[in-house]
Structure 1
Amino acid sequence: MAAACARTLCKVGWTIVGSPAARRSGTVSYLLGNVGAQGPRRAYGTGGAGFRSKLLSSVRAGRGGRVLGCAFLLGGGLGLYQTVKFSVQQHLAEEEAKASGPALKLILYQYKTCPFCSKVRAFLDYHGLPYEIVEVNPVMRQEIKWSAYRKVPILMVDGDVQLNDSSVIISSLKTYLISKEKTVPEILRCYPEMKSVNDSGKKVTEYFNKYWVMLSEAETAALYPEKGMQKEEMKWRQWADDWLVHLISPNVYRTSGEALASFDYIVREGKFGTYEGFFAKYVGAAAMFIISKRLKNRHNLQDDVRQDLYKAVNDWVAAVGKKRKFMGGDSPNLADLAVFGVLRVMEGLQAFDDMMENTKVKHWYRRMERATLNHEGRK
Structure 2
Amino acid sequence: MAAACVRRLGKVGKFVLDTPACRAVNCHAVVPRITLNGSRRAYGTGTEGFRSRPLKNFTTQLRSARVMGCAFLLGGGLGLYQTLKLTFQRHLAEEETKSSGSSGEVKLTLYQYKTCPFCSKVRAFLDFHSLPYEIVEVNPVMRKEIKWSSYRKVPILMVNDFHSLPSSTHQQLNDSSVIISTLKTFLISRERTIPQILECYPEMRSKNDSGKEVVEFNNKYWVMVTGTDEEKLYPEKGSRKEEMKWRKWADDWLVHLISPNVYRTPTEALASFDYIVREGKFGTFEGFFAKYVGAGAMWLISKRLKNRHNLQNDVRQDLYKAVNDWVAAVGKHRKFMGGEEPNLADLAVFGVLRVMDGLQAFDDMMENTKIKPWYRRMEKATHHKEQQ
Q: What are structure 1's unaligned runs of at least 5 residues?
A: 1-85
Query: Which protein has the larger Cα radius of gyration, Structure 1 or Structure 2?
Result: 2
Offset from partner CA, 1:16-36 (integer Å, 9 cap, x none): xxxxxxxxxxxxxxxxxxxxx
CA contact (8 A) 1:101 1:180 kept: no
Q: CA deviation at 1:202?
A: 1.1
Q: Which residue does 1:263 correspond to in 2?
A: 273
Q: CA deviation at 1:313?
A: 0.1
The 5 A counterparts of 1:1-379 are 102-158=104-160, 160-373=170-383
Q: CA deviation at 1:102?
A: 4.1
| Paired amino acid for 2:367 | E
Tell me, what secondary structure is at the counterpart of 1:105?
strand
Q: CA deviation at 1:179?
A: 0.4
CA distance in 2, matches of 1:217, 1:199: 41
CA distance in 2, matches of 1:220, 1:211: 14
Tell me, what secondary structure is at the counterpart of 2:382?
helix
CA distance in 2, matches of 1:254, 1:298: 15
Tell me, what secondary structure is at the counterpart of 1:133?
strand
Q: CA deviation at 1:152?
A: 0.1
CA contact (8 A) 1:324 1:330 kept: yes
Q: CA deviation at 1:103?
A: 3.0
Offset from partner CA, 1:176-221 (integer Å, 9 cap, x none): 0000100101100000000000112111100000000001221111
Number of residues of Structure 1 aligned to a counterpart in Structure 2? 286
| Paired amino acid for 1:320 | V
CA distance in 2, matches of 1:243, 1:201: 23
CA distance in 1, matches of 2:129, 2:384: 9
Normalising by structure 2, we get a TM-score of 0.71
CA distance in 2, matches of 1:194, 1:228: 28
CA distance in 2, matches of 1:181, 1:322: 38
Tell me, what secondary structure is at the counterpart of 1:201?
coil
Q: What are structure 2's unaligned runs of at least 5 residues?
A: 1-87, 161-168
Tell me, what secondary structure is at the counterpart of 2:114?
coil
Tell me, what secondary structure is at the counterpart of 1:155?
strand
CA distance in 1, matches of 2:342, 2:117: 18
Normalising by structure 1, we get a TM-score of 0.73
Offset from partner CA, 1:241-272 (integer Å, 9 cap, x none): 00000000000000000000000000000000
Q: Which residue does 2:69 correspond to in 1?
A: none
**Greater relative contact order: 1 or 2 (C-alpha under 8 angstroms, separation 6 or more)?**
1
Q: CA deviation at 1:104?
A: 1.0
Tell me, what secondary structure is at the counterpart of 1:106?
strand
Tell me, what secondary structure is at the counterpart of 1:260?
helix
Tell me, what secondary structure is at the counterpart of 1:152?
coil
Tell me, what secondary structure is at the counterpart of 2:205?
strand
| Paired amino acid for 1:165 | D
CA distance in 2, matches of 1:299, 1:197: 20
Q: CA deviation at 1:166?
A: 0.1
CA distance in 2, matches of 1:124, 1:163: 14
Tell me, what secondary structure is at the counterpart of 1:373?
coil
Q: Which residue does 2:7 correspond to in 1?
A: none
Q: Which residue does 1:48 correspond to in 2?
A: none
Q: CA deviation at 1:101?
A: 6.1
| Paired amino acid for 1:163 | L
Q: CA deviation at 1:160?
A: 1.0
Q: CA deviation at 1:135?
A: 0.2
Percent identical among aligned pairs is 79
CA distance in 2, matches of 1:229, 1:251: 31
Q: CA deviation at 1:93?
A: 8.1
CA distance in 2, matches of 1:267, 1:161: 30
| Paired amino acid for 1:195 | R
CA contact (8 A) 1:126 1:374 kept: no
Offset from partner CA, 1:47-86 (integer Å, 9 cap, x none): xxxxxxxxxxxxxxxxxxxxxxxxxxxxxxxxxxxxxxx9
